Amino acid sequence: MPIAFARRAWRRHVAILVVLGVVGAGCESGGSATAEGQAADRSADAAVSVAGVCPGTVVIQTNWWPQAEYGGLYRLLGRDVRIDTSKKLVSAPLVASGADTGVRIEIRSGGPANNFTPASKLLYVDRSVTLAGSDLDQAAQFSKESPVTAVFAPMDLSPLVLMWDPQTYPAVKTIADVGRAGARVLTFQGSTYVDYLTGAGILRKSQVEGSYDGTPARFVAEKGKVVQQGYLTNEVYAYEQEISQWKKKVGWALVNDAGYPNYPEALTVRQGRRTELASCLEKLVPILQMATVGYVADPKPTNDLLVRLADEYGAYPYSAARAAHAVTAMKDNRLLGNGANATIGDFERERVQRIVDVVTPIFAGQRQPVKDGLSADDLFTNEFIDTTVSLP
């Protein structure tokens, strides 16, 4: 049942991409190719080398195709990038700060690439997976049957938004304003954040319609009278720049700002392997932090690779302009940032506990209860974070 829920969530996103004309036919014949990642121009010192403490290949399972939200991960790919178009994965020497770390990294795509199986579930199916992405509300949802611990937050805030036509609703600036305006809100069926918004009285149940199919048809046909969900890193740009039937400004507000402070795509380990992988994580997590900082400072080389990978996988024509927009949007809106302190990639316990407190009764009402006595400390740890690593 939890898997079915997660599959519904990812199918929502793929529907959006289909309508925008960005999902390709796929690579039915499979095959492989090579590309170039970052060069290793120096030998790894003791601080950077992870040989002997990490697996020979560090495998990271994501929940979607290559895109800018994963930029810090793909920046770790060194020279001689090997692309497996049949398995929708890419591997290379793991290079950190210009040094070969002594192991390889393999990044596997998810969503349509693996039949929408939640990445964190694969930690319990495939032992070769070292780290897997999971939104923290999803980690709470699975905490009873397949518990995971988040060790690194690639993004500080979720890009999930509600979006509207500012000409139709000039007074709407927040999601609470959407509720007060009484606008019809189109969402995907089964979205946990919607249960929060209606339960908190921010939106009325009567104004929410869980029939959104990922297409712009309804929004366009009703000339912006409806409000619908999307992602600041994708749909906002698409509506303003790519969808010919609209191609004008949209208003938007982050779901985070309505009191749902989810951490998106946090990198997690299977709880039963946390001790086993501790020595690896002590070195690897700071490398992930530094790679994120490096990507934000110079995203173009990695974005070029992301664009190529999306094409090679037959996923969707992910343009350089879209990737560049995503980076700008993430920086300008602090989706990528240091949060409340001067450290990138760590978790705020109060925020995690807020998510636990919000979703626990929601999942209980759906007859998929979380772990008994679940608390924030069950879902994350900052023990491997280097507090000196931050975005400028």
Task: Please write the tens of the pLDDT for every residue from 100-144.
Answer: 999 999 999 999 999 999 999 999 999 999 999 999 999 999 999
Q: How confident is the model at residue 30 (pLDDT cuts 50, 70, 90)?
A: low
**Within a domain: 387:** no
**Within a domain: 96:** yes
Q: How confident is the model at residue 339 (pLDDT cuts 50, 70, 90)?
A: very high
**Within a domain: 384:** no
- How far apart CA 106 and CA 128 sit, in angstroms, is 10
Q: Domain of 87?
A: 2-157+262-378
- Domain end: 258, 278, 311, which one? 258
**Within a domain: 388:** no
- Domain end: 238, 258, 278, which one? 258
Residues 127 and 195 in one domain: no
Residues 82 and 149 in one domain: yes
Give ∠ CA 22-28-33 in degrees, rounded to 5: 85
Total number of domains constituting the chain: 2
- In tens, the pLDDT along 171-227 reads 999 999 999 999 999 998 889 999 999 999 999 999 999 988 878 999 999 999 999
- How far apart CA 270 and CA 64 sit, in angstroms, is 20
Residues 6 and 98 in one domain: yes
Q: What pLDDT shows up at residue 75?
A: 96
Residues 140 and 289 in one domain: yes
- In tens, the pLDDT along 287-324 reads 999 999 999 999 999 999 999 999 999 998 789 999 99
372: left (phi over 0), alpha (psi -120 to 50) or beta: beta
- How far apart CA 68 and CA 302 sit, in angstroms, is 9
CA-atom Rg of the chain in angstroms: 20
Residues 338 and 294 in one domain: yes
Q: What pLDDT shows up at residue 39?
A: 55
- Domain end: 258, 274, 309, which one? 258
> What is the crossing angle of helices 349-365 and 192-199, to 10°?
90
Give the range among 34-48, 225-239, 256-270, 368-382 with minimum mean pLDDT.
34-48
- How far apart CA 227 and CA 251 sit, in angstroms, is 10
Residues 36 and 151 in one domain: yes
**Within a domain: 311:** yes
Residues 153 and 175 in one domain: no
**Within a domain: 193:** yes
Residues 243 and 298 in one domain: no
Residues 100 and 199 in one domain: no
The CA-atom distances, in angstroms, between 182 and each of 27, 185, 194 are 45, 9, 15
Q: What pLDDT shows up at residue 14?
A: 40
Residues 132 and 8 in one domain: yes
- How far apart CA 75 and CA 97 sit, in angstroms, is 10
- How far apart CA 19 and CA 215 sit, in angstroms, is 5
- Given the structure tokens 């032992």, which residue do they identify? 127
- How far apart CA 120 and CA 148 sit, in angstroms, is 7
| For residues 347-375, average pLDDT | 97
Residues 139 and 23 in one domain: yes
**Within a domain: 390:** no
Distance of CA 30 to the CA centre of its chain: 26
CATH of the domain at 129: 3.40.190.10
DSSP one-letter code for 27: -
Give ∠ CA 125-129-135 in degrees, rounded to 5: 85
**Within a domain: 389:** no
Residues 266 and 117 in one domain: yes
High-pLDDT (> 90) share of the chain, %: 82
